A and B are shown apart, each in its own frame.
Chain A
Amino acid sequence: MLTFLATTLSLIGVFLLQDNGLLTRHKTKQVVASVILIFSAILFGSEYGVLRGIFIFIGIISLLGTLFTLLRYKLDKA
């Protein structure tokens, strides 16, 4: 359950960081996204332990970021 929550938060964090195909310049969005991502990292850490949690967080951010970037044009089209 915690894993699902942390993954969802990571996705929201990545989503908030994007503005029209670029990294957002909106300060509030940047801060909110950072807080969400930090919270997500903490959740992964509490579920898997600090060391494992950090690496799982890195993996999930890499994965979600890549997929979101590569598939975002489909969302735009829709």
Chain B
Amino acid sequence: MKSKSIKKLYTLHSWVGVITGILLFVIAFTGAVSVFGRPEIKLWANPEIRALAPIDTIKIEQLIEEYSHKVPEHYKEEILVFLPAVRSSTKLFIMFESHHGELVDEAQVSEGEKPKHNPPVAAVYEFDPVTYELTDEKRGLVEELFADSKYDMSEFIVGFHADLHMGRPIGLLTTGVLGLTMMLSIVTGIFIHRKILAQMFTFRPRKSYSLMLNDGHKAIGVWGLLFNSVIAFTGAFLGLAIVVLVPAAAFVSFGGDQEKLIETFTAVPDPIIQNVQQPTAVAQSFDHILTLEDGLEVNTLTIKGYGDATAMMYFGASGGKKMGYQTIIYNGKGEFLKKNTTYQRLDGYAGIILDVMFPLHFGNFGGIFVKIIWTVLGIGTALLPLTGLMLWLERGVNAANPKYSLDTYQRFNRLIVGGCGGIVIATFLLFPSQMFFKYLYPVENIGRALWWPFFGSWLLVLFVASIAPCEKKVAKQLANITAFILLSIFPIDVVVTGLNLFTQWSHGQLVSLGIDVTCFTLGVYLLTAIKKFDGVKNDVETHDVIVKTAQEGA
């Protein structure tokens, strides 16, 4: 490629990075943490579900039967069961839903006033995951029942990563477009890095600060090339699918009816009710699933035509040998019929690609092993724009004829320190905040309350970084604060739950123990790294002064 074209690509690479770099760091860093959002952080955030006994399938069958008599007949059109501690539920939920809403007395409604659709209604029963006692019940329109659902730090961080809590469509559009700009940065990066293969092992941290940034940026970029491409593509797809791709596909093939499009590919068919009574063998099917594949975990159960001879059960499961989510289908007698993935109905490779999008992005397709790899690489993805931005600043400030004033570079540096350092602190502050709002200052909806410490701390850091005289000192202090927050997570957990390292181990709370120990270790490592970095920087600065003096002398 001609050097003129490479120069143009370099300019494009730089400007895309400068414009989107901070936001990309924010998305990538929260994404790395979100990998463990469900169920690991969920379990840590809710100590009462950390060590649940295996689900009592007979009890679930009994509860469905018992409560099916407490709802009107048409509510049994579909029964949904959400299991605790698997994905986002902390409790066991059983929901009886009528897709066609409340029954309308035809005699009392004149022809012209008949509504086209009655809005779906449901009755939701919430049970304690340990005692299986009823803790709450709600009845009403489905959209109202889920309008103000309670959430905690795990949904908070995953939701922030998905749409920056800006909602649809703006939030999803923003993250989707960022995925596209990341792909653009990757492609331009490949072309401008001419010795991409030859220098893939090159890292010279002791020669100069600039060279350390340059080599680090290239090493993380080259080795993480395939991973970052996968993350950028799946991220762009997940962000844009709902707000752009689905409406566009619906417009082309379904006259703009998005619900119909989604139903065509994902909905489960309604059975033709024969009105022949037959108990639905829920427990038997549940138990059979566990024998199908190793590692298969049931998340949800949908029952159609409950209590009828034509009843069907659809178990939503993850894990096992397939990458995507699976639907395992049983008839009412508890006989296994088949299992398929969500988009298996689509012809060709389209179904496979759609099925792997979500697991590939979040790394939940191979247990903790893959999640650890995805998290560490996700941190690498976050470091890529950060090192790029620092490199841009370094080159700009040290250029013979800087393009912008030193003040401009300094203001931008402060924005980087505040924006990136702030999100790291805000993210780790969610851990103590979760426990604070759960035990010390109980609130109805912890997720909503978490907005204050999260965005408050982030804004505070941005403000301090913007007025502090030396941004390097601020960066160092931010690293220290992050280390102390990380170190505090374990003791806070011990204080609020009363369980120490050994009791957590003996109670089988390995996930929360893992989070506690990891955070503590990271805190110790960060403190050590700050000390070492100070030493290295002093060495490099001394080396630079010696070289400069020698050159001047010559």
Q: Which of A42-59 contact B (CB under 8 A)?
A: 48-49, 51-52, 55-56, 58-59
Taking a contact as CB atoms under 8 Å apart, the answer to whether A52 and B366 are in contact is yes
Interface string of A14-28 (1 = CB under 8 A from B): 000110011100000
Question: In the complex, A9 Cα to B377 Cα: how many Å?
Answer: 19
B199, B204, B224: the one contacting A66 at CB < 8 Å is: B224
CB distance from A56 to the nearest CB of B (A): 6
User: Does B202 lie at the interface of the complex (its beta carbon under 8 Å from any beta carbon of A)?
Assistant: yes
**Hey, which chain B residues are within 8 Å of A17, CB to CB?**
201
A63 on the B face (CB < 8 A): yes
Tell yes or no: B123 within 8 A of A by CB.
no
**Total contacts A-B at CB 8 Å:** 84
Beta-carbon nearest neighbor of A59 in chain B: B373
Q: Which bucket holds chain A's interface residue count?
A: 20 to 34
Interchain CB contact under 8 A, B356 and A51: yes
Are B373 and A70 in contact, with the CB atoms below 8 A?
no
Q: Flag if B360 contacts A69 (CB, 8 Å).
A: no
| Contact mask for chain B residues 353-383; partner A; CB cutoff 8 A; 1 contact, 0 none | 0001000100101100110011011001000
Chain A 55-73 against B: per-residue CB contact (8 Å), 1 yes, 0 no?
1101111110110111011
Q: Within the complex, what minimum Cβ distance (angstroms) separates B196 from chain A?
A: 10
B373 contacts across to A, CB distance below 8 A: 56, 59-60, 63
A3–B199 Cα distance when bound, in Å, is: 29
- Does B366 lie within 8 Å of A56, measured CB to CB? yes
> In the complex, what distance in Å separates the CA atom of A52 from the CA atom of B230?
13
Which A residues are in CB contact (< 8 Å) with B223?
61-62, 65-66, 69
CA–CA, A72 to B226, complex, Å?
Answer: 22
Given A52-B323, A52-B366, A63-B376, A22 contacting B219 (CB threshold 8 A): no
- Judge whether A22 and B377 touch: CB under 8 Å: no
Question: Which residues in A have their C-beta under 8 angstroms from that of B216?
Answer: 70
Measured CB to CB, the closest approach of chain A to B200, in angstroms, equals 6
Residues of A within 8 A of B224 (CB): 62, 66
Q: B392 in the interface, Cβ–Cβ < 8 Å?
A: no
Indicate if the CB atoms of B366 and A69 lie closer than 8 Å. no
When C-beta atoms are compared, the residue in chain A nearest to B365 turns out to be A52
CA distance in complex: A63, B201 (Å)? 13
Does B437 have its Cβ within 8 Å of any Cβ on chain A? Answer: no
- Residues of B within 8 Å of A52, CB to CB, are 321, 323, 365-366
Say yes or no: A73 contacts B201, CB within 8 Å: no
Give A3 to B224 CA distance when docked, in angstroms: 21
CB distance from B383 to the nearest CB of A (A): 10
**Can you name the residue of chain A whose Cβ is closest to the Cβ of B196?**
A23
Residues on B with beta carbons closer than 8 Å to the beta carbon of A59: 227, 363, 370, 373-374, 377
When the two chains form their complex, are residues B366 and A23 in contact, meaning their CB atoms are under 8 A apart?
Answer: no
* Separation of A62 and B377 alpha carbons in the complex (Å): 8
Please report the C-alpha to C-alpha distance between residue A22 and residue B200 in the assembled complex, in whole angstroms.
7
A51/B205 in contact, CB under 8 A: no
Interface string of B200-228 (1 = CB under 8 A from A): 11111110000000001001101111110
Residues in A whose Cβ lies below 8 Å from that of B219: 66, 69-70
Q: Does B197 contact A (CB under 8 A)?
A: yes
Q: Are A3 and B369 in contact (CB under 8 A)?
A: yes
B441-494 contacts to A (CB < 8 Å): none
Please report the C-alpha to C-alpha distance between residue A51 and residue B356 in the assembled complex, in whole angstroms: 9
- Which B residues touch A48, using CB under 8 A? 321, 366
**A6 to B204 Cα, complex, angstroms:** 29
Q: Are B202 and A21 in contact (CB under 8 A)?
A: yes
Cβ–Cβ < 8 Å partners of B380 in chain A: 62, 66
CB-based contact B202/A69 at 8 Å: yes
Interface set of A (CB-CB < 8 Å, partner B): 3, 17-18, 21-23, 48-49, 51-52, 55-56, 58-63, 65-66, 68-70, 72-73
Ordered by A's residue number, 15 sampled pairs between the chains whose C-beta atoms are within 8 Å are: A18-B201, A21-B202, A21-B204, A22-B201, A51-B356, A55-B230, A58-B227, A59-B374, A62-B377, A66-B224, A66-B380, A69-B203, A70-B203, A72-B201, A73-B205
